[in-house]
Structure 1
């Protein structure tokens, strides 16, 4: 779609922390401009997608969400607080603990929305990653402040806008900083603003997050990934709420932190005194919001593998006998871009031992997809996105240790596609897959740049597959998936309904 609407520029030579505070107060309360229906509709879909992921992770007893949820349920609200609820429980908990538990559940499968920080029209193409993990902050803030659904949607959009625009101008990964830091800054702004914070207090909350709580990519290092990778957004959300609470209570944090020479921005990208390294432009109204460049995942996989998955789906469509005859595959050659090559194709990813490593392993993701395609073909179904959708069971311990997986991975070569591929990122996800097959010869679907789920792919087709993903994730976890879908429609909800939004039963889950 053509994105139009009003924006607000925070120039590099101004106090952008203060500017974010003023912007948030205006956007939520002081001068809220009309937001396009397309924007709110897309936001509702991203939120629903995140809830499906969270419900599934809790129902299946995923470790990090279970630990954090148990901790939250054992921690009552602080004096004077309404508290917040965890997914699947009506019990009121300490707000920041509930936020951590819910954000951890949303993020655990690594299957919700994604952004790559790219706005070519404005020349802002830093390409930092990010995910739609922070809606629990907005829901908790609305509940604590007594706000209804329309205000909650604005809080969600504010978080996505701030973190999305920061991702366009400052690439945290270049400095070994985890991408969740942008989300923490956005969460602190939204929470403090929702609770009536002044510009001074909101600026203090930002300063505390930047000065005290910077997460490094140590959580992603090593041959096998741990709970810390999946829970990174949750823990950053937790400290963002803590920082906002303290600022609202009178704690004064560092001011003007984006121009602070010892904070991460100027420390890593030195610039003239009195400036930050970037301008920051934020949507105010219409459809001028970063959410329109964010992407959906159509299953459980690291999003940078989406181009390779689309290549396989295209090959199955062009060569209907391929899925049924995997034994005829001699070699599989994948060409991919940086940074994907370093993240999902490093040698350790050929032998994943944990789910967190498997869903960040391009060889495993492709091998499992090939096996699902064969199963679909044998049942008479087409090998497409729907039948090949990767779900939690595809990353179980038994699945990871499946004997068919190593044989397929052994046939794979993953190579860096070079500058031609690199230059197409972060606008797209440039990938090509070439298969040498005994019967079919050498076949390729060509270069894929905008796989299904990408913001520039077929919107209606993406929506249909995302809806199916939700149904599959929550099947067996809730009594009525359709009723849950209706419950999650946020617009026009009352403050009481927002306060209990996540307090629905989940099968096999401790209700607290």
Structure 2
């Protein structure tokens, strides 16, 4: 067999019973978390623009849009993935040379599953497949240092999971993965320099293409059979590696992490540290003189002002949630970092802009050696009278060493969804998700269609 056929055989054979009870519970928590951050973005300007475009384009009504309406599966995958990605509050997986967000695949899985009236158990199985494929390819074949985006490995995950949700056979799964993986090799410029809306839409595009490739494969369309090992295939890009899909399980979800703060994933422990400092007696954020952070090299490179660009010129939401100086400053001033901090006026406010200029970030080799098993950060804040406050953090609630339980996940879900769904609807969605292995996907999508697209206070 070719390598993509070996991957497809693994996907076809995957069963929900392959997951340990811990992995199944964590997978359901990821579903709830993904839906929470999706609902929380329903009034975002880019999301409204996309919804308007989809309404103008139309489409066969086979898959539900969160917040109401239906369209074709690939368009629903794009829209719902855009929702779950926009706030940048989703889960993540940390590999030494790559970071990805496996929950980005949920829009593809949900749309594909609903279009064939799949069971909740079939949806969960496909979602577990997405986690395994996405994380394991990132482990063995990172591409960030080569100038390519993590959505590159994600294309295989989106296609495999969508094909699994559609109930395709191994040959069709292989063709879907080959097409999507060949056609979606993405540039890392998506996340460097001055950031655009595409930062949050690059993976929705991949989710759409994963579903589209699976639909093409279902009609007999074929893709490059040697997409991995062939002449000028994926291994020519990523380098040679060995990955035995016959020995893989479905447990990777337990090694993923959930964000506690609405910020890029590598910032989470640093934010935990500055909020620890802010809570201490005698600390006054209005008297900060300097903020010094030592952290691991990946955090410095991506969000700290390293190789992926200056992080001191911040004007938009996309730039703010990828600027460690800005995030540290607003957290120290406001005592939190949630969607409210990304109000356009707050992003450019004088106090935030002035404080972020006082932040110095330095990569530390010893801390870098501890990543990704830990997410180490050492922070010292000095006040204008010379008083110093220091804190060190290597994890947080939601890291894989201290995973969220259902109750904690429900708290985050409630906070994000409350402006768009009343208590009864929040309970309904949560109850369906927790019992999803015994429900139909259409029960979940019917509940998601009832979520309001405007906030309870009438603000759009």
TM-score, length-normalised on structure 1?
0.82
2:171 to 190, 194, 200: 200
Aligned to 1:116: 94
**Residue 216 (str. 1) matches residue 198 (str. 2):** no
2:370 to 401, 421, 424: 424
CA contact (8 A) 2:325 2:356 kept: yes
Cα distance in 2 between the residues matched to 1:282 and 1:428: 29
**Residue 334 (str. 1) matches residue 293 (str. 2):** yes
Cα distance in 2 between the residues matched to 1:111 and 1:283: 32
Matching of residues 490-501 of structure 1 within 5 Å:
490-498=436-444, 500=446
Q: Which runs of 4+ in 1 moved over 6 A?
A: none
CA contact (8 A) 2:98 2:150 kept: no
Q: How many residues align?
A: 450
**Residue 37 (str. 1) matches residue 21 (str. 2):** yes
Aligned to 2:261: 299
How far apart are residue 129 of structure 1 and its match?
Answer: 2.9
Aligned to 1:165: 136
**Residue 366 (str. 1) matches residue 328 (str. 2):** yes
Aligned to 2:281: 320
Aligned to 1:274: none
Deviations 1:23-76, CA, capped at 9 Å, x for gaps: 111114xxx644222211111111111111111111x2x133223233334444
Cα distance in 1 between the residues matched to 2:442 and 2:412: 29
Cα distance in 1 between the residues matched to 2:98 and 2:403: 22
Q: Secondary structure at the match of 2:66?
A: coil
CA contact (8 A) 1:309 1:366 kept: yes
Aligned to 1:381: none
Distance 1:195 1:330, change over 3 A: closer
CA contact (8 A) 1:391 1:473 kept: no
CA contact (8 A) 2:97 2:144 kept: no
Aligned to 1:379: none
CA contact (8 A) 1:63 1:227 kept: no
Of 193-202 and 334-343, more deviation after overlay is shown by: 193-202
1:57 to 27, 34, 41: 41
Aligned to 1:267: 237
Aligned to 1:7: none
Per residue, is there more helix in 1 or in 2? Answer: 2
Aligned to 1:71: 53
Cα distance in 2 between the residues matched to 1:416 and 1:333: 11
Aligned to 1:475: 418
Cα distance in 1 between the residues matched to 2:80 and 2:247: 27
Distance 1:193 1:486, change over 3 A: closer
Aligned to 1:383: none
Cα distance in 2 between the residues matched to 1:104 and 1:506: 17
1:443 to 378, 381, 389: 389
Aligned to 1:456: 401
How far apart are residue 164 of structure 1 and its match?
Answer: 1.3
Aligned to 1:353: 315
Q: Secondary structure at the match of 2:63?
A: coil
Cα distance in 2 between the residues matched to 1:495 and 1:482: 17
Distance 1:452 1:477, change over 3 A: same
Deviations 1:317-367, CA, capped at 9 Å, x for gaps: 5x3221xx1233221101122221121122632121110000111111111
**Residue 399 (str. 1) matches residue 368 (str. 2):** no
Deviations 1:256-295, CA, capped at 9 Å, x for gaps: 31112302322341x4xxxxx222457766xx61111111
CA contact (8 A) 2:269 2:396 kept: yes
Distance 1:83 1:356, change over 3 A: same
Distance 1:458 1:253, change over 3 A: closer
Cα distance in 1 between the residues matched to 2:312 and 2:441: 49
**Residue 26 (str. 1) matches residue 13 (str. 2):** yes
Q: Unpaired runs of 5+ in structure 1? A: 1-13, 118-124, 272-276, 374-387
Cα distance in 2 between the residues matched to 1:297 and 1:76: 35
Aligned to 1:96: 74
Q: Unpaired runs of 5+ in structure 2? A: none
How far apart are residue 438 of structure 1 and its match?
Answer: 4.5
Q: Secondary structure at the match of 1:349?
A: coil
Cα distance in 2 between the residues matched to 1:416 and 1:41: 36
**Residue 484 (str. 1) matches residue 455 (str. 2):** no
CA contact (8 A) 1:165 1:280 kept: no
CA contact (8 A) 1:149 1:494 kept: yes
Aligned to 2:3: 16
Cα distance in 2 between the residues matched to 1:20 and 1:56: 35
